[in-house]
Amino acid sequence: MKRIFIVLCASLALVLGGCASKSEVDTRFDQIEERLTQLEDAVKKLNGNVETIQTLLNGKWFVESVSDLADNAGYKLVLVNKDGNRLEKFVYNGADGTDGQDGKTPIVSVRKDEDGNYYWTVNGEWLLVDGQKVRANGIDGDEGPEGPEGPEGPEGPAGLTPEFKVEDGKWYVRLGEEGKWQYVGEAVPDALFQSVDATQDDVVVFTLADGTVFEVPKAQAEVKLQILLDDSVFATQKAGETKTATYEVKAPAGISYTIDTYEPQGWKVVVSEPKDNKGSVTVTTASASGKVLLVVTGSDGSNFVKVVRVGQEAEGDVIETSVIIEAQGGTYSLPNDASSIKVESGSSWISVSSKTVKVAENTTYDSRTGQVSYTSGGKKYLLIVTQLQKDAIVLTASAISVSAEAHEEILIIKTNVEVEASSDAAWLSVSPATKGLEERPFSLAVQANEATTERSAKVTFTSGELSQVLTVTQVGKGDVPPTPPTPSTGDFVLVTSASDLDEGDEILIVNIDASKAISTTQNKNNRTATAVTIDEDVIYADDLGADVQVITLEGGSGSWNLAVDGGYLANKNGGANALVTVSSVSSNAIWSISIASNGEASLLASSGERNTLRYNPNNGSPIFSCYASGQQPVAIFRRSATPPTPVTEYTEMGLYLSASNSRTYAAGSDQYVREYNGNALTYVLINPTAQEQVEISGYSKTMSVDAAVSVQVNWKKNKTSVLSQNYSWNVLKKENGLVWMGDTKGKGVIVKE
């Protein structure tokens, strides 16, 4: 500025010396001052654009919005990063540059090099400072606030942003405040940007003055859980008619969901499984009009209720309002003139007193929805009450003991809220020490204990006012941690693989979170739930109540029967949610079972529309029943039994299933062998007294010991089939004209060779 002022004074002296009028001097002074102002403004915009380009190229910010500046001067950008921090940046349009002595306006831009990074260019050539190209996209550095505009996330090390100035018509650049100004060229550079295009759905396109183009992703709008359905198709539906409409679920990324339905008595509603978040809703009515509620529940605890009006009287007859109540319960006031107040069925946790709706505490881990109808001002209203779930952090144990050496422990917690974890000891760290949802693992990094005495630390899991503490005890060097008690014969142990299940096993079906098992009480369409005590994945027989239903597995993989006193558990044909007891095996009483590694079991009946066995808290009166979707998962606990006697220890010919299986049959002397094709043999074992016959096929004379053999067993009693099952066995032994075939679980057969 000092040099420019001296030149200005010299110019004025020459003007005055030339006897110019005062008005001419003032005019020329104003022109010089205006030129100086334009020059300062151009340099300021250039440096602002350079900083904006560097921010846009660092890959850590997304464009939330683009708006025009006044007088078509450029654009205002609102950027947002993954942590939700916002940042304002400005892009200035390319105004006419101020020519230097050579009349040329240099063009500043960026270009991607072979290493994939962007570098600054001037007139198409690399901008070099001390012989090195200058990066335009930042190098990751320490995270922290940068500049008065707010946090900008990880940027490059200080000094990587070029700063420009013009002095005496010459153009200079430096890197950072401590950098040395370096001559670049003559004249004043024009603004960097040519245009900004925000019309595309997912990116904003930036075009620089030299035609260089780069894109920056747009910040995606928050997606909230909802279900979209055009229910106009149901508006004219009559009693007894069936109509179908398509639906689409909008859900935040990473959030799974279930869809439940609530419909009038006698109606049938079928919701197809979503594919790419789309499916169909089919409604069959039993009356002229009514409403169907579609309740979408997200894995993050969020809910969305869609009311589908069905029938010609539904449209406009009832005004619907809604309210959300916290888990601890609360109240909602109806209008003073409210009358004909009625709490709809299935909403026993809602009561009304003196025009006040009272909602009891929700002690379950699921949200719930109920309805209150009333009349006010001559109009009918339906109040939909949604109550949030009880927030919980569930630890599988309150204390654990670990060994002395350095190692990693994986701890599984269950939660329906966001959780943070921290340790109070330096030798024990926990990760991730960030927020998590649903069931997830936390890693405990344990340092070696060099002392001979044990030490303890506490890991605290928190979410708002919720808190759970895990005590970790590490034994001293040379000691070993105590081993947990081994379940004895008769105790029930959590099953984590369906391959561990076998015919004749005695099992319990349990919801672990609620510590509830299927009881012996059979209602019309469900089984009640009864309490069990779960201790580190074991239910001890001594703690088992008399009303806990012990179920015997019959059949085999893919076609299990759940035998109980008086028959078999089955779902029910038709659209009803039901778990019933039937006297004989039918398709509804045949189940497939799969089990995840965490113990969550899937039991599917082979027929019926609602065929998934699940646990339902049922507003404080919990039950087990079958559903198309939703409700809570179950797990299987299997009774530990005495190891089976190997088939090779038996000496008599016959069929040997596990000792706990009532179908054990060993034939007497009445046996014969039937030969097929001179080689493949079918043995028929007959017990005339019991009118039993067992056919065993699959063995060949040429098979040697250890050979795999697929055995088919057909057992008939009174000419009625009792068992038809295929087994994958091995030839275990050949001795004294007999052949032993079987497995390691005590199942097998002994036949003549």
Q: What is the pLDDT of residue 105?
A: 52
- Three-state DSSP state, 36: helix
Q: What is the pLDDT of residues 505-533, one digit of tens each?
A: 899 999 999 999 999 999 988 999 999 98
Residue among 631, 624, 632, 629 at smallest CA distance from 611: 629
* Residue 486 scores a pLDDT above 80: no
* Residue 272 scores a pLDDT above 60: yes
Count H helices, E strands: the chain? 2, 58
pLDDT band, residue 615 (cuts 50/70/90): very high
* Residue 653 scores a pLDDT above 50: yes
HEC-encoded secondary structure of 266-331? CCEEEECCCECCEEEEEEECCCCCEEEEEEEEECCCCEEEEEEEECCCCCCCEEEEEEEECCCCEE
Q: What is the pLDDT of residue 636?
A: 96
Averaged over 102-117, what is the pLDDT? 70
Percent of the chain's residues with pLDDT above 70: 77
Q: What is the mean pLDDT of the chain?
A: 77
Q: What is the pLDDT of residues 117-152, one digit of tens each?
A: 888 887 778 877 777 788 877 654 333 333 333 333
Mean pLDDT is lowest, of 128-132, 192-196, 636-640, 679-683, for 679-683
Q: What is the pLDDT of residue 438?
A: 56
Q: What is the pLDDT of residues 696-709, one digit of tens each?
A: 888 877 888 999 98
Beta-strand pair 399-402/671-676: unpaired
Q: What is the pLDDT of residues 50-98, one digit of tens each?
A: 777 877 887 778 888 888 887 777 888 888 877 667 788 888 775 443 4
Hey, what amino acid is at 205?
V
- Provide the Cα torsion 294, 299, 303, 308; round to 10°: -10
Cα distances (angstroms) measured from residue 415 to each of 250, 329, 369: 23, 20, 21
- Provide the Cα torsion 575, 579, 580, 583; round to 10°: 100
Domains detected in the chain: 2-217 (no CATH), 226-387 (2.60.40.10), 397-474 (2.60.40.10), 492-639 (2.80.10.50), 647-752 (no CATH)
Whether 495 and 638 have beta carbons less than 8 Å apart is answered as yes
pLDDT band, residue 379 (cuts 50/70/90): confident
* Residue 352 scores a pLDDT above 80: yes
Residue 372, strand partner residues: 343, 383
Q: Give the torsion sign (CA, 327, 331, 334, 340).
A: positive
* Residue 9 scores a pLDDT above 50: no
pLDDT band, residue 280 (cuts 50/70/90): very high
HEC-encoded secondary structure of 63-101? EEEEEECHHHCEEEEEEECCCCCEEEEEEEECCCCCCCC
Q: What is the pLDDT of residue 23?
A: 58
Compute the chain's Rg from CA coordinates: 39
* Residue 625 scores a pLDDT above 90: yes
The string of DSSP letters for 336-398 reads TT-EEEEEPTT-TTEEEETTEEEE----SSS-EEEEEEEEETTEEEEEEEEEPPPP-EEES-S
Q: Residue 482 CB: number of other CB atoms within 10 A?
A: 9
pTM, two decimal places = 0.33
Q: What is the pLDDT of residue 315?
A: 41
Q: What is the pLDDT of residues 147-161, one digit of tens each?
A: 333 333 333 333 457
Q: For residue 432, is the peptide bond before it cis, meaning its omega torsion is within 30 degrees of 0?
A: yes
pLDDT band, residue 188 (cuts 50/70/90): low
Q: What is the pLDDT of residue 562?
A: 94
Q: Show Cβ contacts of residue 220 under 8 Å, excluding neighbours closer than 6 positions.
A: 62
Q: What is the pLDDT of residue 370?
A: 84
Q: What is the pLDDT of residues 243-260, one digit of tens each?
A: 999 999 988 877 888 888
Q: What is the pLDDT of residue 530?
A: 94
Q: What is the pLDDT of residue 509?
A: 97
End-to-end CA distance of the chain: 112
Whether 534 and 568 have beta carbons less than 8 Å apart is answered as no
Averaged over 548-562, what is the pLDDT? 89
Q: What is the pLDDT of residues 208-257, one digit of tens each?
A: 877 788 888 887 666 678 888 877 788 888 888 899 999 999 888 778 88
Averaged over 33-46, what is the pLDDT? 69
Q: What is the pLDDT of residues 288-308, one digit of tens each?
A: 777 788 888 888 877 787 888
pLDDT band, residue 440 (cuts 50/70/90): low
Report the alpha-carbon distance of residue 748 to residue 731 in Å, rounded.
Answer: 10
Q: Phi and psi (nearest 5°) for 21?
A: -70, 165
Residue among 77, 81, 80 at smallest CA distance from 89: 77
Q: Show Cβ contacts of residue 617 under 8 Å, excluding neighbours closer than 6 positions.
A: 364, 365, 366, 514, 632
